[in-house]
Structure 1
Amino acid sequence: MIKKFEALLKRKEVQQFINYYIFTILSALIGFYSIPYLTSHISPEDYGMIGIFLGIVFFMPPLLSFSATNLQAISIVDLSQEEYKKFRNDYISFIISLFAIVLVLALLSPFIMPRYSFIIIAAVIYGFLQLLSTVHSTELIQHGKPTMFGILNFLSIFLAFIITVLFISGFNQGWHSRIISLILTEALLVIVRFLFLSKIGKEFKFSVSKVEFRALARFGWPLMISVVAGWIINQSDRFILLHFYSLKEVGIYAAAYGISSIIVTFNQTMLKVVAPLVYRKLNKRIGRNFVIKLNLLYALVIFSIAALASVTIHYCWHLLLGTRYEASLPVIYILCFAQAFFGVYMTLGIVVDYFKYNKLKTIVIWICAIVSLTTSFLLIPTLKIYAPAVGTLFAFFTLSVITYFNGRKILNVNNVM
């Protein structure tokens, strides 16, 4: 038994998994602490503005890349080194072109929605910087460099928190400073990533390739439609609350979402660990049993984590949130399990992404978006601010179930052994 355990620890995939999760835990601790820091220094109304900002940011990277981020990972696996470099240059040029268009539109927001103009412009800039970071992160993940990926991910959270504390506690700045801190941190790390940690910056030449731009657009347009549905499921809840209530309720909900995002962190780390391995197996048309077992095993793990997180928060909430945010507790519990269902979906979603069943993915996500919206609006009269969280839970449950059956079907159709 001991020898088997030692052999397991020596496997590259296990070592990568451990590396990813060490940094995930460190990052989660900093991210986790930043929420009680913010809730103790700013009002729910101000936190509501940050929540609106994050709701817009969610949509920015898919919009500015036309949802072609998965194509980069697939291209690393399928293309030669020189072919990939050309693809990367065209891909970054595509992102810059879309950013320029969207930024011009955002600069018109002071004339249309002056109260939210700062949030809109900042969200576009921050989403653009996040997307550039993702280009480098995807290469680190696909090339099996979890330590560097973990360090950079940790630094992005740590530096943003330090700058936030400096602005708020040192210079008595308000909620705006949290957003500025995020932008400054991401801008600094993009420079480090592109110029010092990789050759992306040195090898980049802006080019407008009509052929490649069309290919990116063809790949992404079905996913863009699904991104709208994904935004409805993940982010429309705070806008629904803003419609029926006020920024105070949005702030309470956003704080709860931030706490429950610890489950999101585990999901994202799991995907980064297993996606490259699954892609390589699917490329050889093997790995059917591996994917199915992964789905079951991760379900057991992530639901256990969600349960443990909910119990811990139930008894320690006063250490994490001020009394002004006590109403967020039920939302935290519901969203923890909602994100657990999303994690289960992601394990078979890898299969859907690799074989490019984008239209199927779009249909499924829209079904779940309709479930989310319908549930939220029907339950608001009785559950009030908790209704959108229940809607998200139902949507992610539906998503995981439908994807489970479709994922297995796709493995059969493509003769994956």
Structure 2
Amino acid sequence: MKKEKSKIQLFVQGSFFLVISNVCLKAINFFLLPLYTKNLTPSMLGISDSITTFTSILFPILVMGLDSAYSAFYYDKEDADRDKKVFSTISFTFLCTGIIPMLMCIVSGPLSELLFHTADYKIIVCIALLSVTLNLWGLSFSLELRLKNKMRSFGIISIMASLSMVLLNIFFVSILKLGESSLILSTAIVAGEHLLLYALFTGSIPRITWFDYGLLKKMVKFSIPLIPTVLMAWVLSLSDRYILLYYYGDFTVGLYGIGARFVTLLNVVISAVTTAYTTFAFGSKDQDNAKRNYYYVFNVLSFLLMGIAFTIAVFSKDIILFMTDDAYSSSYVVIRDMMFGQVFYAMSTIVSYGIIFQKKSIYSLLSVSSGAIVNIIANLVLIPLYGITAAAFTTMIGYLVSLAECYYYSEKLYPCEYGIKRIMITSILLYAVSWSLMETNLMIQIITWGGCVITCMIVYKDVLRLIIEYVIKLLPLYRRKQEEK
């Protein structure tokens, strides 16, 4: 029982530390939106986002799903040195695949012409490609930190890198006024910083003697179905940018991108919890009360994310008017659907561990593909008619379809009572309320929001009680550690 409690506490502490370490810096970057929107036109932002979207599909293709294989095989103790072999094998694999984006710089001109019908942005494309290489080389060190549960180190790195990103963005956007290249150049520099910090904090060096070709074959066999899964995930989450670019141009993509940046507030929580959850989930799955613990994690995370999404959705118009330049004022129409879509994505990430435990990655492919197919068809039909509003809505529906199918397969493979019915009913009702309040006055929004918050606190009193208990437990634990020092 003590062992189980220790695992839960480690997970909560790890998640809590990562949230705290990220939220301040992410908040700073978020509140710098007025600075960005004042110095970057929607067209500049649209060009930057279009290039970033392109490289965002290249990265997971080159990863080949081996990040998931890393955790799946890391805990298979077939021999005493399995963890070292996994780390070194993956490190040298990414070292090789990281060369590909560097070679692609040769065709950065044609890639620029493909995206924008001009080669003027070839240098920016090249910088974005180099970012992919640096991220690939740092990935194995990042995964090693996670699976060793060094969440404090992970948080410190996140703070340092986030601070650098904020300062670089201010310097390039506002002082040097580099336009559409500003954010991409900042990202490339921070990717290099990430690589150095991960390598330093991990304290592990990949050795060729630990490279295991047989192990690599097993991991590749596991991850092959994940490659099309990654492609489908990209279609589900980012393909709408290119449809918008085709029909409406980079100006509209820039408007859409501002709405997408509000999702960062949710991603602070999502990335922290999912980063810590991998170690907790695999380390707890054979314990008697594992499924009960998964239930609480799912409900606490969903409760928090719904609260954030609902709050931002209700006040999205006023927030956009306050936070951005007048040129971006219409972007508020996408925030509600983007926020709730991200909530559904986070839910599917947690419930998908039933599939991962059984190493049936084909079901991940099926669930993501269903959402992607629904999304792409709806995008092609609705975006030409309704623009960015349709893009955000269809993406949310795609995530909802993916969640439903992922939950179905996961329950077949690893039955676990998540209480998803209560969560989904609440999500739909909160979405409907936020939709009805979009064009009402601020006082009505505040009163209705307050009523919904009180109602949710009553309905989720068990979850709220759990959150309060763990927050209280963290305080004496922290004091005890300080006294021991």
Q: TM exceeds 0.5?
A: yes
Out of 215, 218, 237, the residue aligned to residue 218 of structure 2 is: 215
The match for 1:4 is none
The match for 2:14 is 16
Q: How does 1:121-200 map to 2 (within 5 A)?
A: 121-194=126-199, 196-200=200-204
- How many angstroms does 1:42 deviate by? 0.8
Give the direction of change, closer, same or farther, for the CA distance of 1:401–1:217 in structure 2 (3 Å limit).
same
Matched, 1:249 2:252: yes
The one-letter amino acid paired with 1:198 is: T
Partners of 1:294 and 1:135 lie apart in 2 by 26
- How many angstroms does 1:187 deviate by? 0.7
The match for 2:37 is 39
The one-letter amino acid paired with 1:38 is: Y
Cα pair 2:21 2:159 within 8 Å, conserved: yes
Q: Deviations over 1:72-112 (max 9, x none)?
A: 22333224662222221221111122222343234223245
Give the direction of change, closer, same or farther, for the CA distance of 1:137–1:35 in structure 2 (3 Å limit).
farther
Cα pair 1:93 1:207 within 8 Å, conserved: no
The one-letter amino acid paired with 1:199 is: G
Partners of 1:384 and 1:192 lie apart in 2 by 41
Matched, 1:84 2:83: yes
Q: Which moved more, 1:178-187 or 1:15-24?
A: 15-24
Cα pair 1:241 1:249 within 8 Å, conserved: yes
TM-score by length of 1: 0.89
Q: Deviations over 1:386-413 (max 9, x none)?
A: 1111110101111111222221211149
Cα pair 2:76 2:82 within 8 Å, conserved: no
Q: How does 1:17-416 map to 2 (within 5 A)?
A: 17-79=15-77, 82-111=81-110, 113=113, 114-194=119-199, 196-200=200-204, 202-205=205-208, 210-283=213-286, 287-412=290-415
- How many angstroms does 1:34 deviate by? 4.1
Partners of 2:172 and 2:294 lie apart in 1 by 46
Cα pair 1:90 1:206 within 8 Å, conserved: no
Cα pair 2:102 2:133 within 8 Å, conserved: no
Partners of 2:288 and 2:360 lie apart in 1 by 16
Cα pair 1:364 1:402 within 8 Å, conserved: yes
Give the direction of change, closer, same or farther, for the CA distance of 1:353–1:103 in structure 2 (3 Å limit).
farther
The one-letter amino acid paired with 2:328 is: Y
Identity, % of aligned positions: 18
Cα pair 1:30 1:157 within 8 Å, conserved: no
Q: Which moved more, 1:260-269 or 1:39-48?
A: 260-269
- How many angstroms does 1:40 deviate by? 1.5
Cα pair 1:44 1:250 within 8 Å, conserved: yes
Partners of 2:142 and 2:213 lie apart in 1 by 26
The one-letter amino acid paired with 2:271 is: Q
The match for 2:424 is none
Secondary structure of 1:58's counterpart equals: helix
Cα pair 1:39 1:322 within 8 Å, conserved: yes
Secondary structure of 2:139's counterpart equals: helix
- How many angstroms does 1:119 deviate by? 4.2
The one-letter amino acid paired with 1:103 is: M
Partners of 2:253 and 2:246 lie apart in 1 by 10
Secondary structure of 1:175's counterpart equals: helix
Q: Which moved more, 1:357-366 or 1:180-189?
A: 180-189
Q: Which moved more, 1:366-375 or 1:113-122?
A: 113-122
Give the direction of change, closer, same or farther, for the CA distance of 1:323–1:268 in structure 2 (3 Å limit).
same
Cα pair 1:68 1:220 within 8 Å, conserved: yes
Larger Rg, first or second structure (1 or 2): 2
Q: Which moved more, 1:344-353 or 1:131-140?
A: 131-140
Structure 1's unaligned 5+ residue stretches are 1-6
Partners of 2:391 and 2:299 lie apart in 1 by 28
Partners of 2:102 and 2:80 lie apart in 1 by 32
Q: What is the count of residue pairs matched by the alignment?
A: 405
TM-score by length of 2: 0.77
Structure 2's unaligned 5+ residue stretches are 114-118, 417-485
- How many angstroms does 1:300 deviate by? 2.4
Secondary structure of 2:283's counterpart equals: helix
Q: Which moved more, 1:295-304 or 1:178-187?
A: 295-304
The one-letter amino acid paired with 1:332 is: I
- How many angstroms does 1:348 deviate by? 0.6
Give the direction of change, closer, same or farther, for the CA distance of 1:360–1:129 in structure 2 (3 Å limit).
same
The one-letter amino acid paired with 1:109 is: S
